[in-house]
Amino acid sequence: MIAAVPLGRALLWHWESNPVLRGRLLAREQGCFNCHLPDGGKEIPNPGSRWGSVPKFQAGNWRMYAEDCREVREFIRYGAPRAWLDDPKVRDRLKKQRLRMPAYGKTLSDEEIEDLTAFACAKEGVFDGLEGLAAQGLQIARKQGCTSCHGLAGAGGRPNPDSIAGFIPGFAGKNFQDLVTSRAEFEEWVRTGSLKRLESNPVAAFFWERQRLSMPAYGPAVLTPEDLDKLWAWITWMRQDKKR
Ligand code: HEC
Ligand code: HEC
């Protein structure tokens, strides 16, 4: 069984794939965090630029730069939104500022640009079309820390040593289909931190005893039945959105 683990893990990792998770890994590879989430924690000064510094992804200040995910995509593809590049005054400013956002469209594929856009938008909490119950579900997931374990926007892939996959599954990829087949199973996971259907599987049980992090159980005092409805609405919305 042990020999099969690396192969099984590779397959589970493959199935976990979704735009936000791929975008996060690609952002690291492409050096995005060198400028956007610098080691020092503070925004890097950028004399001559519009606001004088390089924006941090999480600062909630993206609106000072982009109206929506379409403009975020333009930043990544062209180094600035079209509206900026069409304005001679802004072009002049961009030429003079110390740091320029690189135009990644020159070297990356359309799919890679889409993944980076999905990641950057998720990082900044911008989800075009997310509203109502589903939007409230995201707020709850953030407040209760679901997204710190299950990943930004439920993208999964966070490490969990000695677990069956080696990472915590998210809500966006294909693994979710096997782990949560209905609203009732979702509720069982959240209420009990486990699932009877899987507990009887010896392989799952073997790893569950060993894995570093486990799913906590959330009682009704923490999450009301309405909260569960909202979380489920959010997960359902996100899964519809993930076409690749
Ligand atoms: C050399 C530093 C640098 C690197 C590397 C860089 N950027 Fe930027 N980025 C900037 C600057 C500077 C701005 C602000 C626009 C300006 O002032 O010209 C910006 C703006 C943005 C914006 C719009 C503002 C916001 O917060 O939403 C997004 C999105 C963005 N970058 C994504 C990325 C992604 C994704 C990568 C990696 C693929 C990346 N950047 C790599 C410098 C950088
Ligand atoms: C301490 C980290 C942690 C936190 C916080 C956490 N989970 Fe989990 N969750 C896990 C682990 C670990 C698993 C088990 C995966 C396994 O063993 O296969 C899991 C499993 C799940 C599953 C089933 C598998 C899947 O597709 O992800 C769901 C659904 C789930 N959690 C929902 C939630 C919700 C909703 C919240 C917030 C109310 C939450 N979790 C908070 C760690 C966490």
The C-alpha angle 155, 157, 161, rounded to 5 degrees, equals 150
Indicate the burial class of 240 (C-beta count within 10 angstroms; 0-12, 13-18, 19 or more).
Answer: exposed
150 Cα–ligand 2 center, Å? 6
Whether ligand 2 lies within 6 angstroms of the CB of 234 is answered as no
Q: Which residues pair with residue 147 across a beta bridge?
A: none
Atom of ligand 1 nearest to the CA of 108: 38
Q: pLDDT, tens digit, for every residue of 146-178? A: 999 999 999 999 999 999 999 999 999 999 999
Q: pLDDT, tens digit, for every residue of 183-202? A: 999 999 999 999 999 999 98
pTM, whole model, 2 decimals?
Answer: 0.92
- Find out whether 84 and 90 touch, Cβ atoms under 8 Å: yes
Instruction: Choose which residue among 140, 148, 150, 194 to substitute to test ligand 2 binding: the one with the highest number of ligand atoms within 8 A of its C-beta.
Output: 150
pLDDT of 119 strictly over 70: yes
Whether ligand 2 lies within 6 angstroms of the CB of 216 is answered as yes
Average pLDDT score, the chain: 92
Atom of ligand 2 nearest to the CA of 213: 12
Dist. CA 45–CA 67, nearest whole Å: 23
Whether ligand 1 lies within 6 angstroms of the CB of 116 is answered as yes
135 Cα–ligand 2 center, Å? 19
Whether ligand 1 lies within 6 angstroms of the CB of 118 is answered as no
The C-alpha angle 155, 156, 162, rounded to 5 degrees, equals 175
CA distances from 107 to 93, 110, 153 (A): 24, 10, 27
Whether ligand 2 lies within 6 angstroms of the CB of 160 is answered as yes
What is the domain partition of the chain in residue ranges?
31-107, 132-241
Query: How many C-beta atoms lie closer than 10 Å to residue 21's C-beta?
Result: 27
pLDDT of 97 strictly over 60: yes
Q: Domain 132-241 carries which CATH code?
A: 1.10.760
Helix (H, G, I), strand (E, B) or coil at 159: strand
Our measurement of the distance from residue 98's CA atom to the centroid of its chain's CA atoms, rounded to an integer in Å, reads 30
Whether ligand 2 lies within 6 angstroms of the CB of 192 is answered as no
3-state helix vs strand vs coil in the chain, percent to 5: 60, 0, 40
Whether ligand 2 lies within 6 angstroms of the CB of 228 is answered as no
Task: For residue 244, name the pLDDT band (cuts at 50, 70, 90).
Answer: very low
Residues of the chain with pLDDT > 90: what percent?
77
Whether ligand 1 lies within 6 angstroms of the CB of 235 is answered as no
- Find out whether 156 and 169 touch, Cβ atoms under 8 Å: yes
Between 62 and 118, the more confident residue is 118
